[in-house]
């Protein structure tokens, strides 16, 4: 049994749950979690500082071969810093890291042949053609994929002779993913792979990642999109202020909300603190950025109770949305704010 299962019945987890999550990170084998000894990637108590800022504060997790592992959290949570240490781009200030059995700092020359990466922002020379970029990157490695095959796979055949600065945002991202695969890597790192892309292009990238997932490619990806993590990841580490605050499968983490339904409402006038927690069937209610998020085990009764309460308070319902719990609900319950705040 994992900490999220132990604590899943609480609308507001007691302090002991925080201790359980901490123990889970330090000694996951106690809870039947991924055994680091059998993992292709291991992170133990990772620390990364920038001057007085501690961006990563004791992060621990392990990734199995063939797993899609997500680091989910708001901007500034420490996700990119963690990935850049794993890629060997940054020097850690504490902890232990292993990727494909290699130390990213000590074995950086060997590691580059085993990993592929699509960074948060890829920039190539404006007048570099698509095929030239693939051939250039292929020349850096001892193990290479056929550039023609990659062009076809990523829908770039018609753009083979197009300059980089003439590509759309989605085409640039598909090229970045193709370059990440050019050395047939054992582990792929995707840092915010769909950030800034329109919904249609985002779905295209999802399809590509899902295809890689079916091929049992090991992928570590960062994201602040809830739907991205839930759709693509086998397991997720929710990161906030440089720490992992929850770790597990999306399904297990959502069970942390206790099987409740999420009711999100906007009101014409603010409610006093804690009032909505007393609605019939409600297990938790809190104000998040001007919106009230209520978790309920009996949504119909909660909504009726809400309407009666608002009438009595001479308040009005501006909007109401009902949905199943998401990973954002876990984040809200543990931090009191949204992932994108």
The pair of structure tokens assigned to 181 is 């695969």
**65 falls in which pLDDT band (50, 70, 90)?**
very high
pLDDT above 90 for 328: no
DSSP for residue 119: -
Q: Which pLDDT tens digit goes with each residue over 136-170?
A: 999 999 999 999 999 999 999 999 999 999 999 89
Pairing between β-strand 68-72 and β-strand 235-240 as defined by DSSP bridges: parallel
The H or E element spanning position 310 is helix 299-312
Do domains 3-255 and 260-324 share one topology? The answer is no
Give residue 30's pLDDT: 36
CA-to-CA distance for 160 and 132, rounded, in angstroms? 8
More confident residue, 206 or 323: 206
- The values of phi and psi at residue 235, to 5°, are -140, 155
More confident residue, 18 or 273: 273
Q: In this prediction, what percent of the chain has a pLDDT beyond 90?
A: 65
Q: In this prediction, what percent of the chain has a pLDDT beyond 70?
A: 87
The H or E element spanning position 291 is strand 291-296
Rounded average pLDDT over 111-132: 92
Give residue 273's pLDDT: 65
Q: Which CATH superfamily is domain 260-324 in?
A: YebC, transcriptional regulation domain (3.30.70.980)
- The values of phi and psi at residue 307, to 5°, are -60, -45
CA-to-CA distance for 36 and 26, rounded, in angstroms? 11
Angle between helices 199-214 and 169-180 (to 10 degrees): 20
User: 116-152 as b/e, with b when 16 or more CB fall inside 10 Å?
Assistant: bbbbeebebeeeebbbbbbebbbeebeeebebeebbe
| Cα 86 off chain centre by | 16
Domains of the chain by residue range: 3-255, 260-324
Other beta carbons within 10 Å of 1: 7
Rounded average pLDDT over 22-37: 44
Rounded average pLDDT over 319-339: 82
CA-to-CA distance for 266 and 110, rounded, in angstroms? 54
Question: Highest mean pLDDT range out of 4-18, 31-45, 133-147?
Answer: 133-147
Angle between helices 169-180 and 130-138 (to 10 degrees): 20
**33 falls in which pLDDT band (50, 70, 90)?**
very low
Rounded average pLDDT over 47-67: 96
**28 falls in which pLDDT band (50, 70, 90)?**
very low
Q: Which pLDDT tens digit goes with each residue over 284-300?
A: 888 888 889 888 888 99
pLDDT above 60 for 29: no
Q: Which residues contact 114 (CB under 8 A, 6 or more apart)?
A: 99, 100, 102, 185, 186, 187
pLDDT above 90 for 336: no
pLDDT above 50 for 23: no
**258 falls in which pLDDT band (50, 70, 90)?**
low
pLDDT above 60 for 21: no
Q: Which pLDDT tens digit goes with each residue over 180-239?
A: 999 999 999 999 999 888 888 899 999 999 999 999 999 999 998 988 999 999 999 999
The contacts found for 121-126 with CB under 8 angstroms, 24 or more apart, are: 122/172, 122/173, 122/175, 122/176, 122/179, 124/164, 125/164, 126/163, 126/164, 126/165
Rounded average pLDDT over 263-282: 89
Give residue 208's pLDDT: 93
Q: Which CATH superfamily is domain 3-255 in?
A: P-loop containing nucleotide triphosphate hydrolases (3.40.50.300)
Which of 120-129, 175-184, 238-247 has the least mean pLDDT? Answer: 120-129
Give residue 36's pLDDT: 54
SS3 per residue for 236-269: EEEEECCEEEEEECHHHHHHHHCCCEEEEEEECC
CA-to-CA distance for 313 and 132, rounded, in angstroms? 67
Give residue 19's pLDDT: 43
Question: Which stretches does DSSP call E strand in 7-127?
Answer: 41-50, 53-63, 68-72, 94-99, 115-118
Report if pTM > 0.85.
no
Give residue 55's pLDDT: 96
Cβ atoms of 55 and 72 within 8 Å: the answer is no
Rounded average pLDDT over 52-62: 96
């Amino acid at each position: 049994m994992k900490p999220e299962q132990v604590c899943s019945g609480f609308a507001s987890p007691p302090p002991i749950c925080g201790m359980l999550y901490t123990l889970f990170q330090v000694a996951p084998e106690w809870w039947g979690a991924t055994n680091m000894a059998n993992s292709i990637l291991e992170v133990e108590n990772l620390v990364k500082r920038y001057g007085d800022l501690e961006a990563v504060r004791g992060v621990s997790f392990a990734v199995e071969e063939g797993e899609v592992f997500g680091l989910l959290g708001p901007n500034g949570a420490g996700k990119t810093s963690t990935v850049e240490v794993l890629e060997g781009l940054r020097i850690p200030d504490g902890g232990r890291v292993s990727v494909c059995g290699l130390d990213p700092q000590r074995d950086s020359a060997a590691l580059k042949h085993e990993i592929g990466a699509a960074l948060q922002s890829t920039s190539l020379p404006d007048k570099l053609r698509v095929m030239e970029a693939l051939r250039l990157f292929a020349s850096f490695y001892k193990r290479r994929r056929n550039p023609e095959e990659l062009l076809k796979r990523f829908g770039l055949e018609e753009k083979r002779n197009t300059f980089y600065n003439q590509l759309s945002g989605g085409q640039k991202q598909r090229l970045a993913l193709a370059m990440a695969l050019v050395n047939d890597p054992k582990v792929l790192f995707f840092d915010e792979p769909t950030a800034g892309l329109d919904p249609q292009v985002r779905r295209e990238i999802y399809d590509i990642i899902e295809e890689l997932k079916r091929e049992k490619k090991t992928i570590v990806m960062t994201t602040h999109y809830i739907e991205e993590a839930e759709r693509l990841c086998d397991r997720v580490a929710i990161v906030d202020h440089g720490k992992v605050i929850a770790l597990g499968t999306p399904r297990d983490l959502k069970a942390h909300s206790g099987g409740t339904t999420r009711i999100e409402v906007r009101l014409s006038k603010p409610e006093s603190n804690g009032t909505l927690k007393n609605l019939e069937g409600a297990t938790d209610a809190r104000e998040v950025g001007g919106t009230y998020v209520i978790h309920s085990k009996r949504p119909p009764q909660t909504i009726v109770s809400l309407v009666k309460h608002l009438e009595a308070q001479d308040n009005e319902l501006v909007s109401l949305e009902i949905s199943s719990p998401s990973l954002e609900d876990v984040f809200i319950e543990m931090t009191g704010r949204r992932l994108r705040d």
